[in-house]
Amino acid sequence: MAGVRLPAALAVSSLVVAALLASALAPPRQQSAQPAGCAAVGKIKGWVTVSVGGESSTVEMRSFTSSFFHSLLIALFPSEANDPMYGPLGGPLDVTGLYPAWGTSGSGAPAAVTGGVRIPLTWWRIYYNESGLFLLVGGNATANSDWLTFGTKDAIELRRVASPRSYKSELTIAVDRVPLLPYSFQYVGQPAMVTYTFFFPKTVFTENFVRLLVAYLYNSAAGRVPVTATDGSSVLVDPYTPDPWSAPPGNVPVETYIVLGDGQTQYSPFAYRVQHEIARAKPGVLRKGSPVEFCTTFIALSYAFVFDRDATVTEAAVYVKLSNGKEVMLLYYVFPRPVKVKAGQPFPVAFAFFAPVTSG
Amino acid sequence: MRWRGFAAVAALALVLALASTWLPYWGAGAAVEEAPRLEGYVMVYVNGELRAVSKMRSFTGPVPAMLALALFPTSKLRNVTVEYWAGGSTDWPPPLTGRSRLNLGGGGYVDVQYVPYKDLSTSPPTFGLRLVVPFESVWGFHAGWDWGFEPGNPPQARLREGPMGPSPQTAYLYAAFNTAINGVTVAHLPPPSPAFYHNETHVLMVFPVTVAIWEPEGDVPERVYDIVLMRGTGFYKIADIRVARDVFDPPVKVYAGDVVTFVYVFAFKGRQVFTENWVKAFAAWLYNSRTFRVTATDGSTVPLGPRPFSVNYTCYCWYGTTAEDAEPATFYFGYYPSDWVTCPLTYNGKPFFAGGCQFASIDVYWVPSETYVVLGDGLATFSRTAYRVQHEIARVEPNVTFTGGKITVSAAFVFDRDATVTEAAVYTRLRHGKEVMLLYYVFPRPVKVKAGQPFTVEFSLDIPYSGGV
């Protein structure tokens, strides 16, 4: 399983920063620097399993698309601070195609598509173990000759439901090659199933994040997913809109914050708020990919806090505000030790997560 | 933090020079009372660990002209020609890149015009609106247009949502990895709003940019040695202009999967001169994509930065069945933010083919348009949050010059009666009429000025630069 990349030690020393600044006339040193900020990093993994006639084949996903990162960023982490890309209905726009990130009027589902065969992924489940959170999304079909013939040479695509206002009705999230077993026509007419399994390592991701991802994938009435708001109440994320052309989606993220706290706490995937908030800011987010590939393979949110007075930080989180005003904590990080931050000292905080890609 | 550490470092100096031929306390040609300055640093964090600090040394050649034009425009300083280096962008149309010259206008108002055109020599034929513009504004806005038609019935020509109006372009960050790749983009994103902080000795403006390195798998170390700060322009084809370029020596080693955060720290040092308004105006200039709230001299809070106040636009509906025979048939005129125009389904028997809109003129209403040096005789003490002189007794439009890396705002006063001066300031008047005090200085002792004697005040911004782009 993927681990979570964390600073080796987080005993922040303002003296380190001051000393480095004071010695800035000298060439910056490459010493084993002390930590002076926060970078909470998570790595998403995925697998796709194709089962036909009782046999199955599983491959690890390695080809999430840049479009996925772009649209996920706009959908889950809209930030007015960066770029008020809002349409006439007030919904956030996906700047990669200038279409709304949320909202369809049907009850559609994401689909696995291969060889001209489309398999709606009609069910989803969330599991948790000591490693982290798992999301399973799957669907059933009947194998036909087209699938079994073309499937051996065609990739299988995971597609998300997109708004009719977009240039495409679907967004390709990942393209993978799965050896379809058993490559035989004898299974024509047999039940077939496609299951995507996503893994979210603990210490960064929360169950709320996974639930938002479900809403993102379905983006319809089928994507109405309950989450736990920071006030402890259950609130429904609702991508559905009765008319994508004239009505906003029911309840989706509209603003993003990085929140710091000084509470006595520990990480839990089911945490829904920081224990004691002491500061918040609208972060910078990767709004737009660059011409080079590696910029499109991750999402990062960051902000450099500067406190007016000395502070102690024990926890950091990413909150999103929904259309109805409720706030939901999506990412959560608890420092191994409290971090003392001096007044006037920059304290950068970054949340970043990857998913495997093979191309932009 | 001991900001005293900065004092040994001269990166960028803002020097306030107060000189007078009649300064009873200081003598003729009086010297610098103190030397406030701007120091910039780039701090590199890898996975949350501070790895290196680089002092910013290299604001580029066009910066003094662009900064002066943006923040200190006068009746004599309305446009300048600069040589610049433009970066790249994935935006369409493809931007111009490389070294070139540009005629910049200030004051925030620019007329732009487009003319319909059709080019059948290309394959497929191209048509649209061609930009006709005398000069570009130093304050950003996206004088762009959208072309195409909306699905739906009836068809609609529309202003493109988002990139139109104030430009989302902002301070971009470029860095190069390894010598083989020069200027590879590692981040093409707007940084978050800066954090501001002030105390008795300095004002801070801090913002981070976070990037990830290459693929999440692998162990190949890379070297971060060259980092470039780009200022977005909002221009039609020039996405951004290089404003600073800094070097890490030795390079910072990073590995695949690392998360690297570059933190830009701008420290305006000095017990006087720099106000909160100033640092926010500087931020507005650097970001060039949004407004920052400042305090006007009347005590009200107003936005400062590029944001359109009024926009006139024209929409075209083209009719025909192919690009070859499509012709513009209907023109609509409207005002921002209305962004939808419905085209008739047919016109002169031809079906709707495509439609588009463009801005005809934009009034960027929240940016400086006039500059004054103001003197006062109030009982004042310097404060970072001061927003006006205590009691104004005189003001003049200054002479603003920039030679090499130095911007000078100077003004000569001649009183018709004896006066006592206790405070000096630089005011800017925004296009919406509000005045904002950017720089402020309180004399350690009142200065008595005789009637008829010239009294000269000079603020100078000294920016070390190589002259390159």
Residue pLDDT, tens place only, A206-248 = 999 999 999 999 999 999 999 999 999 999 999 998 887 667 8
pLDDT, chain B, mean: 70
Asked if A304 lies within 8 A of B206 by C-beta distance, the reply is yes
Say if CB B372 and CB B356 are below 8 A apart: no
Beta strands across the sheet bearing A327-341: A277-281, A253-261, A311-322, A327-341
Instruction: Please list, residue by residue across B49-68, b when 16 or more beta carbons sit within 10 angstroms of its beta carbon and e when fewer do.
Output: bbbbbbbbbbbbbbbbbbbb
pLDDT of residue A22: 32
pLDDT of residue A149: 56
Neighbouring residues of B434: CB distance < 8 A, sequence distance ≥ 6: B296, B297, B298, B300, B302
Cα nearest neighbour of A300 on chain B: B210
pLDDT of residue B33: 45
What is the nearest CA distance from B238 to chain A, expressed in angstroms? 16
pLDDT, chain A, mean: 76
Of B1, B3, B50, the CB nearest to A37: B50
pLDDT of residue B208: 78
d(CA A1, CA A356): 13
Asked if A22 lies within 8 A of B2 by C-beta distance, the reply is yes
pLDDT tens track for B137-189:
777 654 444 433 333 344 444 443 333 322 223 344 444 433 223 344 445 45
Which range of B10-19, B140-149, B183-192, B224-233 scores highest in mean pLDDT? It is: B224-233
Q: What confidence category does residue A134 fall into, taking pLDDT thresholds of 50, 70 and 90?
A: very high
pLDDT tens track for B65-87:
889 999 999 988 887 888 776 66
d(CA B169, CA B223): 27
Asked if B49 lies within 8 A of A305 by C-beta distance, the reply is no
Q: Encoding tokens for residue B189?
A: 């994103």
ipTM: 0.76
User: Which residues 199-258 of B have a C-beta within 8 angstroms of A?
Assistant: 199, 204, 206-217, 248-250, 252-253, 257
The reply to whether B193 touches chain A by the CB within 8 Å rule is: yes
Total count of residues recorded for chain A: 360
Cα nearest neighbour of B167 on chain A: A83
Cα nearest neighbour of A290 on chain B: B188
β-pair partners for A277: A261
pLDDT of residue A360: 40
Of B48, B55, B206, the CB nearest to A7: B48
Say if CB B266 and CB B204 are below 8 A apart: yes
pLDDT of residue B323: 65
**Does residue B281 surpass a pLDDT of 90?**
yes
Q: Which amino acid is at B122?
A: T
Chain B residues with CB-CB distance to A343 below 8 A: 1, 197, 199
Q: How many helices (H) and strands (E) does chain A have?
A: 4, 21
pLDDT tens track for A95-130:
444 446 788 888 889 998 876 678 899 999 999 999
Could you tell me what percent of chain A has a pLDDT over 90? 36
**Does residue B279 surpass a pLDDT of 90?**
yes
Interface size A-B, in CB pairs within 8 Å, comes to 247
Give helix B276-287 / helix B62-71 axis angle, nearest 10°: 120
d(CA A78, CA A328): 13
Neighbouring residues of A325: CB distance < 8 A, sequence distance ≥ 6: none
Could you tell me what percent of chain A has a pLDDT over 70? 71
d(CA A160, CA A129): 27
**Does residue A255 surpass a pLDDT of 80?**
yes
d(CA B275, CA B280): 9
**Does residue A79 surpass a pLDDT of 90?**
no
Q: Which residue has the higher pLDDT, A41 or A21?
A: A41
Q: Dihedral through CA B241, CA B247, CA B253, CA B257, nearest 10?
A: -10
pTM of the model: 0.77
Parallel/antiparallel/unpaired status of strands B136-137 and B98-105: parallel
Worst-scoring range by mean pLDDT, A19-28, B52-61, B211-220, B388-397? A19-28
pLDDT of residue A357: 64
Worst-scoring range by mean pLDDT, A12-26, A88-102, B45-59? A12-26
Q: Which residue has the higher pLDDT, A162 or B425?
A: B425
pLDDT of residue A233: 97
Which range of A93-97, A156-160, A188-192, B21-25 scores highest in mean pLDDT? It is: A156-160
Asked if B49 lies within 8 A of A36 by C-beta distance, the reply is yes
* Helix (H) / strand (E) containing B114: strand B113-119
What is the nearest CA distance from A215 to chain B, expressed in angstroms? 24
pLDDT of residue B278: 94
What is the nearest CA distance from B374 to chain A, expressed in angstroms? 31
Q: Encoding tokens for residue B5?
A: 């550490």
pLDDT mean over A186-212: 89
Q: Which residue has the higher pLDDT, B159 or B98?
A: B98
pLDDT tens track for B301-350:
998 987 655 555 566 677 777 767 777 766 655 554 444 556 677 788 88
Asked if B261 lies within 8 A of A37 by C-beta distance, the reply is yes
